[in-house]
Structure 1
Amino acid sequence: MSFSLLKRIHPLAVGAYRCHAYSSAPLGVMNQVLAEVMDGIKAAGTYKPERVITTKQAAQIKVQGNNKDILNFCANNYLGLSSNLEVIEAAKESLDLYGNGLSSVRFICGTQDIHKELEHKIAKFHGRDDAILYISCFDANAGIFETLLGREDAVLSDELNHASIIDGIRLCSAERHRYKHMNMQDLEEKLQATQKCRMRLIVTDGVFSMDGDVSPLREICDLADKYNSLVFIDECHATGFLGATGRGTEEFLGVEGRCHIINSTLGKALGGAAGGYTTGPQSLIDILRQKSRPYLFSNSLPPPIVAAASKVFDMITQDNSLIAKVTSNTKRFRDKITAAGFEVWGKDHPICPIMLKEASLAGRFAEEMLDRDIYVIGFSFPVVPKGLARIRVQISAAHSEEEIDRAVDAFIEVGKKLEVIP
């Protein structure tokens, strides 16, 4: 191969050509580029170290290098069921009956009766026609927009929707419009501008995971009715615990049945392992089974996860005491932390973002909290916008009132030390 041809095919290969076939030059370039990026992340104070937990997920955990019991206020374990004994036992029994996994995708040899049973429970829980399981809700969001929407259609998405929604929308060929966060005037203007389109899909998180605010779903559904549009809602931070019986944002806001499509996760309140789903009209679920790429080309959900999630649906359908507990714990924490002088975003939700603004301050605050046996994490760019760093506290039904109060006391102590509150 000539040097000029090699240069046209792959510029990075030029150095390898000059230094013979097995030169490490391309790897050296990559290492240098990535080192510069990493240096920039650390200089900006946005480097995110991973703490290693050495116990099961629970209200109290241990972390590597520290043998003390630490209160965990940084998990999506809203109902405290990630290590519930009944849920674990259901997963164990499924290992004996159904094995560890299917080693295949659903349409080949990866569907068991328990998959169909769980899909039926999900659809019944939400009051929809049918449901389809995915390995994660990220996959569910990646698989729906490309399947449903074509060039004749339009998608209108809240600007603060989850990254998986953003990535999923990028895959579709529809017109793409972002409306200002929870701004109904902007949404209506975009609905008016897209009236020529065949289908219009309004896309929103039910609860926005970084801010803890609840989507104005009633107003969105009213606009959808007015402009003959569909509504899609991501319920990952609502299913199982928001609303009197855990049916999510629809129930919480009194608009049951008005959303056309619901995507959610099994990996937060519903057992804490993995798995996601879409539930909605039969016609949609049928076409997703035929065309949704993450469904067609990913292994089916492992039996232990399916059995555990199925058990959780049984538990919360029969008894809503855990839902009531996380609700009361949330009110206790929010009332006390607000009275202490902290700026807390969101309302009436277990996600409680305590705003600190500076990334380096958020990181230092989290370390000070860990010194006081409270596990929280500082959130900074690119997880949240620059200048809006925070500690995102997450409340669980597994927390006792005493543990809630201990966390508040620690926040007050650190807040005063770092001059966040007077």
Structure 2
Amino acid sequence: MSTVLTPVLTKFWDHPQSWTLETYEANEGYQALRAALQKDPADLVAMAKDSGLRGRGGAGFPTGMKWGFLPPPDGGPRYLVVNADESEPGTCKDIPLLMAAPQFLIEGMAITSFAIGCNHAFVYLRGEVVHVYRRLMRAVEEAYAKGYLGKNILGSGFDLDITVHAGAGAYICGEETALLDSLEGRRGQPRLKPPFPAVAGLYARPTVVNNVESIASIPPIVLHGADWFSGMGTERSQGFGIFSLSGHVARPGQYEAPLGITLRELIDMAGGMRNGHRLKFWTPGGSSTPIFTDAHLDVPLDFESVAKEGSMLGTRALQIFDETTSVVHAVARWTEFYQHESCGKCTPCREGTFWLKQIMNRLENGQGHEGDIEKLDDICDNILGRAFCALGDGATSPVTSAIQYFREEFEQGMTTPWYELFPPERSTLFAKESQPA
């Protein structure tokens, strides 16, 4: 095995009380903040750029460059908003990070806020994870008590308040402008861009919106240097990341490794496929990314290599499916999710996902009509690139890629239900509560 794990954010997750400030301080916690407060804010922005850190929320946009888009200070407020609205099927890295080591995020927010001139930062957390909300609130309280937040932080003259906001459970609020509308108390729907959040974001003020893992990666970069971070990963996809393995592997879980590791290596680390089974298909970046097959086991998991093969690295949510799983059944469940979560603001997504769901349900139950497969491709073509935000594009990805690699299963859906091709006692993933007799 050529690649080893690089535990940084996950280094002390197995500590009995990993989430406490005491444990965090025993593992270099807040040393980076002390160092950052001695630097010029512009140098911190430059360090983020030099490290090569790219957004860990899916799009992979350079983090330091996003900070640099803010206009010059004009005397008014500017904001940092952390997107913790993790809710895509299969994506499960930010919530475990907040549960196990929330102080990484808080220290990262303090450093980032100092770098961009922000005095009030927000965390937008998915409301259903009440246990994580309570833990994050407690972590913020601990940071205030020790002087890492509040007025005159560590005697530097820098002030910062953090507000933790619980959302109401809408997937669309993972889109950064819909998140900002929700945070302002309005219905969460994507905004027309431009203006972009860097110019007119929260309360129409300059705003940086970053993912949890992106901001949590800032303290190690400040503490150990940009060269340390860029020395991991690949030439254009630098650093480490949390890879979330779920599904039909022996040991599902979070594996923190350099970008560029392959699924073959990760499956080996996870104890291989579950006994007696083989890999059939998998998602490299969550359910909104085009699926891969066993032919892609050795594709380096970095932004460029995955894109070259026709998919996206996304959130590194690696959902693993073996040969007992019906592709049509799995894709139908994802399609139902995207249809349900469409905000309805734009016609291509609102109407397109509705009809994708109808056709997928027909094929799933062996009731397909002549031309259904071609109609799926046609609908996807009319959604892709025409929706108001990326939700529409993401809804098409599993459908088109599944047809590309497993067209014969869709053809079988014309006459045969999925549960006859893949009996429920064999297909355990995505099983509905009530199966046909």
> Does TM-score exceed 0.5, indicating one fold?
no
Which of the pair has the greater relative contact order for Cα pairs under 8 Å at 6+ separation?
1
| Structure possessing the higher radius of gyration over alpha carbons | 1
TM-score (norm 1): 0.29
TM-score (norm 2): 0.28
